[in-house]
Structure 1
Amino acid sequence: MSLAKLACVTALALTLGACQSLFQPNMRVPLEVKRDRWEHIKPGCTAADCPLVNIDTVHFPTNPKLDAIVERSLLKLTSDGEGAPLPASLKSYEDSYLQSAQSRNSSYLQAKVREQHDGLVIIELSSYLDTGGAHGMPGRGFINYSRQQDKVLTLQDMLVPGQEATFWKTVEEAHKGWLISTGMDKDAEFVKNWPFQKSPHVALTYGAVVVKYEVYAIAPYSMGHIELKIPYPRLNGVIRPELFPGRG
């Protein structure tokens, strides 16, 4: 091959490589997020305490797969039990709920982006179901979506293999710190009645790994959703190193 042809081939390869890198998604740039919210009451109801559904969610114009994940995750918060079939959509859930709901009943569902960093989208889910009693029942959840892997990370995806027991031991230590900070460590009855528990709600936020609890899990309803925050340095060798902020 002549030097001229070789130079042309090299230039073409460099150009194609530059173009390829140009079209790779930039993980430093957050995904575009649009908010979508509405509230509807039971059709035909004119009373002051009409049943209602309030939905406040997010959409990702460039990522319909994540849209579907968010919708399904919100619908899971409406389920009465494991294995129960989920509604096909938020709209069908609303129609079904309003058809059978009684006065003073209401359902609130919310999804919001808590933060984005290092190619991760951390979405917090909230629900509140009011059946007309003294207080409603709230629910919570997290989605840790990896844009690099194009999937929701499970706890096993977050942890170094074999480190789950160490992870929960570290969370339990954070729980002891929370008891001390609130003064509840001095209340023997509280410590006995509200022991440490694991939680399915773990989020890889930028400042710390957050473990969030449902009401009644480790404290009375009045104390709300407890959050335990574990700094990343305390999880060296436990959380996969590429998931530490700034290392991805």
Structure 2
Amino acid sequence: MRLLKLAALGSICLLLGACQGLFKPSLDEPLTARHTAFEHAQPGCKGEQCPLFNLDTLSFDDEPALNEAINAQLLQLAREGDGAAPASLDVYEKRFLDSAQPGWSSYLQAKIREQHDGLVIIELSSYRFTGGEYGQPGRAFINYDRRLHKVLTLQDILQPGQEDNFWKVARMAHQAWILQNKLDEQDPNFSKNWPFQPTEHFALTFGALTLKYDIDRIAPHSVGHPELKIPYPRLNGIVKTYYFPGRGAQ
């Protein structure tokens, strides 16, 4: 009788374990985002030239570290020049609208670029127009590892001692980008005037690792935000194999 009770108890434990595994979110299943989007005009203003503040962002249940990272990165994009980041988005909105002139606008956005292999790639954008010919655009990426509940830095994804080799491969991707877009044909001095530079903006996108650049960094303003693509096979021995598409979330 005692053996039967023990066997039954063991079966229940196994069943409970299986149920827990059944209801545990799979890293292969994409996260569902909660969206927040609004447009606020300067209080008391009426007319087509009223200053505007736009926010389009998202958050995720059970991923507080990712939510904090999104909020922090939006605040970085809201910085003015070399000044400190605002204390909060509410503080930034009030400060911007209180001081804005007719026609001014500010826009902040966070969106999902991709989800794969237990990674969530967030692309963040900003645009602030305060008069003049052009506004001030900004871009950033967040690479979030759901397994570690952590925002990944470049050092996190590279094999030890491989940063120099990473940028050598990136330099080749830059040359390929120039050739593909025939930029040297349009301007014989393009490579000289707009040499390769590293960037802090990288994304572990599925088809190829993506590097994104700020305006006027490696190309004229008219080009916008250039993206360089590095195929993962070129990063063998440089990027940790776990972060190659198809090898994560296992």
Question: Normalized against structure 2, the TM-score is what?
Answer: 0.92
Tell me the equivalent position of 2:131.
132
- Tell me the distance in 1 between the aligned counterparts of 2:217 and 2:181: 16
Q: Quick one: distance in 2 between partners of 1:40 and 1:25?
A: 37
Deviation of the 1:23 alpha carbon: 3.7
- 1:32–1:62 Cα contact (<8 Å) kept: no
Which residue of structure 2 lines up, in the alignment, with residue 38 of structure 1? 38
Q: Which moved more, 1:218-227 or 1:187-196?
A: 187-196
Q: Unpaired runs of 5+ in structure 2?
A: none
Hey, what does 1:145 align to over in structure 2?
A: 144
Q: Does the 8 Å contact 1:31/1:62 carry over to 2?
A: no
Alpha-carbon deviation of 1:6? 4.4
1:60-75 correspondence to structure 2 within 5 Å: 60-75=60-75
2:61 is aligned with what amino acid? P
Q: Does 1:103 align with 2:102?
A: yes
Q: Distance in 2 between matches of 1:163 and 1:193?
A: 28
2:212 is matched with: 212
Residue of structure 1 in register with 2:247 after alignment: 247
Letter in 1 for 2:34: K
Cα deviation, 1:113-147, whole Å, max 9, x if unaligned, reads 01111111100000111111101011000000111
Tell me how far apart the structure 2 counterparts of residues 152 and 65 of structure 1 sit (CA, whole Å): 8
Distance 2:55 2:3 in 1: 65
Could you say what secondary structure the match of 2:189 adopts?
A: helix
How much has 1:191 moved relative to structure 2? 1.3
Q: Which amino acid aligns with 2:69?
A: I
Contact map agreement 2:158 2:240 (CA 8 A) in 1: yes
* 2: CA distance, partners of 1:23 / 1:81: 47
| C-alpha deviation, 1:32, in angstroms | 0.8
| Residue of structure 2 equivalent to 1:183 | 182
Distance in 2 (alpha carbons) for counterparts of 1:14 and 1:61: 28
Equivalence map 1:83-94=2 (5 Å) = 84-94=83-93
Corresponding residue of 1:159: 158
Give the letter aligned to residue 236 of structure 1. N
Residue by residue over 1:182-227, the C-alpha shift from the partner in whole angstroms, topping out at 9 and shown as x without a partner, is 2223444211110000010000011110000001000000011100
% identical aligned pairs: 55
Using the alignment, how far apart are the partners of 1:20 and 1:238 within structure 2? 37
Question: How far apart, in 2, do the equivalents of 1:101 and 1:193 lie?
Answer: 36
Alpha carbons 2:58, 2:111 under 8 Å: kept:
yes
Q: What whole-Å deviation, never above 9, does each CA across 1:95-130 have from its counterpart, x for those lacking one?
A: 111011112211111111011111111000001111
TM-score normalised by the chain length of structure 1: 0.93
Secondary structure of 2:176's counterpart equals helix
Deviation by residue 1:136-160 (Cα, 9 ceiling, x = unmatched): 0110000001110001000011111
- State the secondary structure of the residue aligned to 1:57: strand
Name structure 1 gaps, 5 residues minimum. Answer: none
Q: Deviations over 1:62-107 (max 9, x none)?
A: 434322221111111011245x433232222111110111122111
Alpha-carbon offset, residue 229 of structure 1: 0.7
| Alignment-mate amino acid for residue 212 of structure 2 | K
Q: In structure 2, how many angstroms separate the alpha carbons of the residues matched to 1:202 and 1:96?
A: 31
**Distance in 2 (alpha carbons) for counterparts of 1:12 and 1:34:** 37
* Conserved 8 A contact 2:63-2:149: no
- Structure 1: distance between partners of 2:16 and 2:169: 48
* 2:142 aligned partner, one-letter code: I
Aligned-partner residue type, residue 145 of structure 1: Y
Aligned counterpart, 1:230: 230
CA displacement at 1:235 relative to structure 2: 0.9
CA RMSD of aligned residues (A): 1.8
